[in-house]
Structure 1
């Protein structure tokens, strides 16, 4: 391994089928049955699926109608985000017993840096095992974990032995692990990028590693440098306990498509109120207001406006959203509207690392 970047002990904890598992925890009669959290029917969308439902091909973001066709016995449960947040807080309290370097990615997953930890345990693998056991005994849910030298590899590893398992990629195993990896497993490589890589003869980490940074930059732009480095085990992003929020949004999918802008304004008023409530609850404000429109043919359009001051009040958000709505004619009837605020007052100017900070002595750990 190169000695110009730090090796940390990073754990990525990922709750197993979180929303569905919470529903099964609270409703024992649902345990062992195919369950989808979200809405069924013509307009519904699956937010999460139990492992029993996944055997039939049911996945998150799938339409409720398709999910029911794939799994005729599928049970739908409405989302209960307050309950999911409550359980998530219980899990995070366990994390903080081991380290203060906890970076939540969502309600059901987080990174932990246990290079130096409150238990004085030199083994990140044993810490991960203990955390998973505590989550099961104290919360009643299972979690999977990935353990390695950086966030990128830890996240990939957490998918390997799901559900209720863990995988450790030791420092000496990092390069063989990445070289053997299917290119689709690399985070940041989506379906479209994977197809492009296939056309270029890139199917595995070994194939990716054989390409020069110039080649990758030519074909993938700025992402080319990222791919070049991560396949060599280089990912220097630190676990950030206080992740800076980049945007805040709310949106609604309607039971019937809207063709009248008057009806859209009524819906936007409720969305603007929700965004304002979330902004004030988080004690943030933003300058860039974006209107999201999804049409009945599923095409997506966004319209944005940046104001010279930070806003969080419903009236100003709604006034701007109204201007954006009338900015251009509707292409079709509308199935979804959303409002987001970005360019928030939480963002700080990026600090360029000094040459001294960019070079760190390699540390050797027992994983």
Structure 2
């Protein structure tokens, strides 16, 4: 396979950094952006254990002096669009993962620069000079190594893995959770086989890993531990839906618990929608009960939207039709029937305004004709 050079950039505490940039008095204070649920936490807040998707009430228990700033999604999207346009000036081989991160295939363009270090610094400087925000950069030989590299010297740093030898040496003694996709539940399963670090994976053959964890997860673990990742930067990918779901170790039974989890899942899903610059027309709620019975409820809207308020109200209406007399094992939300924001249809209110404007223009023309004839 052709040797590749992949860059992964990740804006540092994106929403929080925007608010600190616009209000310097917040600098150095533990602060979060959010409503009832936290969207982003500053690095000062993270030191107290505060994190995104946590309820503000829970966060205040950890950090009584926490400053809460309301979400200004329009502002973040405008800045995100500016960042994306800056990146696209380098190359069109970009895969934007969310509003604040993406992969860039720099295999060809890196040849024009003195070194990878020089390019990383120039990339960061370009973002900062145009937005006043910092980002962390990772450069690797594939997407996996680039992604992990961008986390090594966060915030505002960069790290480079030139080859798999460097990568495997670096991650060998690191906790297994360093591999993207290895979540808390999978860590617990791996711990039963005494797999606590990435290096521990090397004690097993790929066949053993498959027999323990299934073909997909076994192969993924084996390849990731050796730094192997053949995924391309998918800059032509078409997204059909965006969604998130959560499975609960202890089934939910109270209305408050269910509402809280739905808020968390909706927040993540909506952020992905707006981060990709998409509009949706369908919202689907998925619920799996303790007896494994699974139901889905969907609502198709009249127009394409990305409005948080409209989608939240839609979710609330769908959720009211669900009978939660049984404990809940899984909740999921997906947004479908997608279209790019640049080609969206006019909303009902916009169409009415358009009609009204046209009517006024027609009336003016008629008056001019009458005056002319007189």
SS of 2:152's equivalent?
A: coil
Which residue does 1:238 correspond to in 2? 232
Distance in 1, matches of 2:136 and 2:314, equals 45
Pick aligned residue for 2:170 from 177, 191, 194: 177
Deviation at 1:290, TM superposition (A): 2.4
Query: What are the equivalent positions in structure 2 for 1:84-163 lying under 5 Å apart?
Result: 84-117=76-109, 120-121=112-113, 123-163=115-155
Pick aligned residue for 1:203 from 192, 196, 212: 196
Distance in 2, matches of 1:127 and 1:94, equals 14
Query: What are the equivalent positions in structure 2 for 1:244-259 lying under 5 Å apart?
Result: 244-248=238-242
Give the number of equivalent residue pairs.
Answer: 301
Distance in 1, matches of 2:241 and 2:62, equals 35
SS of 1:115's equivalent?
A: coil
TM value normalised by structure 1: 0.71
Distance in 2, matches of 1:166 and 1:320, equals 40
The 8 Å contact of residues 102 and 241 in structure 1, kept in 2 or not, is answered as yes
Which residue does 2:34 correspond to in 1? 38
CA 1:161–1:323 in 2, change beyond 3 Å: closer, same or farther? closer
Uncovered stretches (5+) of structure 2, i.e. residues with no partner: 245-254, 257-269, 305-310, 341-374
TM value normalised by structure 2: 0.69
User: How well do the aligned residues superpose, as a CA RMSD in angstroms?
Assistant: 3.9
The 8 Å contact of residues 217 and 224 in structure 1, kept in 2 or not, is answered as yes
Name the one with the larger helix percent.
2
CA 1:339–1:10 in 2, change beyond 3 Å: closer, same or farther? closer
Distance in 1, matches of 2:185 and 2:30, equals 31
Pick aligned residue for 1:227 from 221, 227, 232: 221
Distance in 1, matches of 2:318 and 2:71, equals 32
Instruction: Write out per-residue CA displacement over residues 3-54 of structure 1, whole angstroms, 9 at most, x where no aligned residue.
Output: xx44311111001010100011111222222111012xxxx11111111211
Pick aligned residue for 2:66 from 70, 74, 77: 74
Distance in 1, matches of 2:67 and 2:236, equals 37
The 8 Å contact of residues 158 and 166 in structure 1, kept in 2 or not, is answered as yes
Uncovered stretches (5+) of structure 1, i.e. residues with no partner: 251-256, 259-273, 347-367
Which residue does 1:53 correspond to in 2? 45
Deviation at 1:233, TM superposition (A): 1.7
1:290 aligned to 2:294?
Answer: no
